[in-house]
Amino acid sequence: MEDRSERHDLQLYLLRHAHAGDPDAWTGDDAVRPLSDKGRHQSERLAEFLAQRRFMPDAIVSSPKLRALDTARIVAQALGLEVSIDERLGDRLHLDRLADVLDEVSGRRIVLVGHDPDFSDLVSSLSGAAYVPLKKGALARVDVSLPLQEAGGILRWLLPPDLVALGD
């Protein structure tokens, strides 16, 4: 008989958008707040790091907010993939909404690009940890079984942006 605690249906990758400057200093619509130079550099370093390791997800799905979409596009381009957009990743994201998003994505290795505090909360909730903070530009892998459950996943790794400071 299979040990359900060791069977995981999905490798879920949660990528928090890279640095986008001070939101309080931005005077326009927050949905179009772009990556800063630092954020673009973070995204490029992550993209190069993942490409060098031949990381190949089945799908990359992004929030429609510009800072997340730009982060996703930089990574996707380095991997030779397309980015799809899901409006729900730009709003409050909880387990039920996450399950709805995942129901519409094909594949077993899925990268979602979005925002905090949602992504930190999701990693914590899925892994059963009290709190797992994701810095801007961080990528977490959580192996999850379906249907999603609190503490039903395993945090396999968390890659902070400063770890991939290639050539800096």
Task: Give the tens place of pLDDT for each residue, 117-138.
Answer: 999 999 999 999 999 999 999 9
- Is-above-0.85 flag for pTM? yes
Q: How confident is the model at residue 1 (pLDDT cuts 50, 70, 90)?
A: very low
Q: Is the dihedral of CA 58, 118, 48, 162 positive or negative?
A: negative
Could you report the per-residue pLDDT of 82-104, keeping only the tens digit for each?
Answer: 999 999 999 999 999 999 999 99
- pLDDT recorded at residue 16: 98
CA dist 71 and 75 (Å) reads 6
DSSP track, 27-70:
-S-GGGPPPPHHHHHHHHHHHHHHHHTT---SEEEE-SSHHHHH
Quick one: CATH architecture of 11-20+47-164? 3-Layer(aba) Sandwich (3.40)
